[in-house]
Structure 1
């Protein structure tokens, strides 16, 4: 009988262990934490510019959610609704119509822009997607889409960097050279620059 009471006491003690409620701030994958990370003060999820060692894209805007590879997918209806509810957050581009007009300044370079007016960078399927992203970010006036070879684990996606000021090929002096987690060295190809004009 004593062993029965000992067992009951042990079970009661185990049940009395306090389990704190789930704190959403501790969940890096929660919608709320994603929305909080996609603000201008955090360069919309990419606080380090692409040329900084260890920099990672802040978002993916394209048609294949599997290509997001853990990045916030800016065509996810639920995420887009949450982002739209926060005036400080990056908002998902609405539709595909461009509000601005883009003029090619340079193309085919093996270097990307690095400049102090850096706003954010992410991944896109096409140059048009990069233009659409610029249209959705207040103050964006220049895009620099390019292939960061080895920098995206073999992904064919374009890196899309956004800037607030206009640039020329003379500002394209990031040739890559960052060592990746697998030991490979990244390099830049097919870098282009486009000025944005219009509302």
Structure 2
């Protein structure tokens, strides 16, 4: 009953602001449920951090939704983005960063090309992106984020070729990149980390 009332309120608000719903009712209800799962209390859809077994990305921000092998919020979906603006959950859809941002884009690189990912208590959330710039944009759209760790989780995340984007409250160096993978996947393969990089907001 409560979900129905929230859905009605959100769809009414969206109709008032956009003139019409951007998606059919069934897709709209799925999108509402997905957007509602993006809250700080559950690490914006990723309550199990990426270094623990059973982890699942909380969201995807990029242009290749067809590469997703799981159903997670796509943060380029107009309906989900409007819902996130209305719900005030501490996460928004980012604006697309410049194609080639100039040097000195407000970030300091703390390490690059490493075979381990950050594992730390100030973990906020993680998702999937296409590029490092997409991950930087995500950090700017998540309350409390000051550091990103991007890497390829080879054989992990259901075999996704997309870049993993982990967000943290504080800055970290390579010495805290202790997640080397080693988790057995459903198909029996073992994951490992490649091309890990860390960036801290200036």
Superposition TM-score tier, normalisation by shorter sequence: 0.7 to 0.9
Contact kept in structure 2, 1:49 and 1:55, CA below 8 Å: yes
Match of 1:117 in 2: 122
| 1-structure distance, mates of 2:68, 2:197 | 22
Instruction: State the shift of 1:89 in Å.
Output: 4.8
Q: Flag structure 1 segments of 5+ consecutive residues without an equivalent.
A: 1-20
Residue 104 (structure 1) aligns with? 109
Q: Distance in 2 between matches of 1:177 and 1:128?
A: 27
Any idea what SS the aligned residue of 1:153 has? helix
Pick the aligned partner of 1:182 from 168, 182, 187.
187
Alignment pair present for 1:171 and 2:176:
yes
Offset from partner CA, 1:98-131 (integer Å, 9 cap, x none):
8x71111101110000000000000000000000
Return structure 1 stretches of 4+ with deviation > 4 angstroms: none
* Structure-2 change in CA distance of 1:142 and 1:89 (3 Å): closer
Report the count of equivalent residues. Answer: 173
Q: Is the aligned partner of 1:147 residue 2:152?
A: yes
SS of aligned partner of 2:151: strand
Q: Distance in 1 between the 2:85 and 2:130 partners?
A: 23
Distance 2:78 2:97 in 1: 15
Q: Is the 8 A contact 2:91 2:143 kept in 1?
A: no
Residue in 2 that maps onto 1:40: 40
Aligned twin of 1:136: 141
Shift of 1:174: 0.4
Is 2:79 aligned against 1:81? no
**Structure 1 match to 2:66:** 66
2-structure distance, mates of 1:178, 1:189? 14
